[in-house]
């Protein structure tokens, strides 16, 4: 295969002219969330797996940190959303009218997202799940999110990702635990 340029108009690959306007590359980034609920005795209650959206502020943050080299911290935290959340691309931690954060758990902060090693364009926290101990009976969970701020119920930080249960809300009671595994992947699309 041969490749040559003809100045400003484009490139020739294998004898076929290609202009800058018809050559594109795409990257698909996503998070797969796995929510695993257990009762106070350790018995499995339910499991939900959902793919997220990455809000605009999360996409901007990824581009800013990777391509611009802006100040970066690898500190990310998992939070829970209430029932029937509506997650939108324009959501931020300060403004997300379609959902509220669930804070009915014993831990004093959102749970740390500790990722393992990157392999084959994927990384997850399966070795260190973000686990919440529910503190109130009849707590409704409708999804989750990732942010850069650990403050339980806080509105600062960057909303990196958010997800809603598509099959309906789930309930938890005092003493139940919810372990959240997040798998982040990127692929050429």
Q: Where residue 67 falls among pLDDT bands split at 50, 70, 90?
A: confident
pTM for this predicted structure: 0.83
177 CA to centre of own chain: 20
Q: For the chain, what is the radius of gyration of the CA atoms?
A: 20
Is residue 23 very low, low, confident or very high in pLDDT (cuts 50, 70, 90)? low
Computed over every residue of the chain, the mean pLDDT equals 87
pLDDT range class, residue 65, cuts 50, 70, 90: confident
């Amino acid at each position: 295969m041969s490749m040559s340029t003809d100045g400003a108009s484009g490139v020739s690959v294998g004898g076929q002219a290609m202009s800058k306007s018809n050559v594109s590359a795409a990257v698909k980034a996503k998070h797969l969330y796995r929510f695993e609920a257990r009762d106070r005795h350790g018995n499995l209650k339910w499991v939900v797996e959902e793919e997220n959206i990455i809000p605009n502020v999360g996409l901007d943050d990824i581009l800013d940190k990777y391509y611009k080299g802006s100040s970066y911290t690898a500190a990310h935290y998992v939070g829970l959303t209430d029932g029937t959340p509506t997650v939108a691309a324009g959501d931020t931690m300060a403004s997300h009218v379609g959902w509220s954060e669930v804070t009915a758990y014993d831990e004093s902060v959102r749970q740390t997202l500790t990722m393992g090693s990157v392999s084959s364009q994927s990384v997850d926290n399966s070795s260190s799940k973000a686990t919440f101990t529910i503190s109130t009976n009849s707590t409704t969970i409708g999804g989750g999110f990732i942010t850069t701020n650990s403050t339980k119920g806080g509105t600062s930080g960057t909303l990196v990702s958010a997800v809603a249960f598509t099959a309906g809300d789930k309930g938890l009671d005092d003493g139940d635990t919810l372990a959240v595994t997040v798998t982040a992947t990127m692929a050429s699309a």
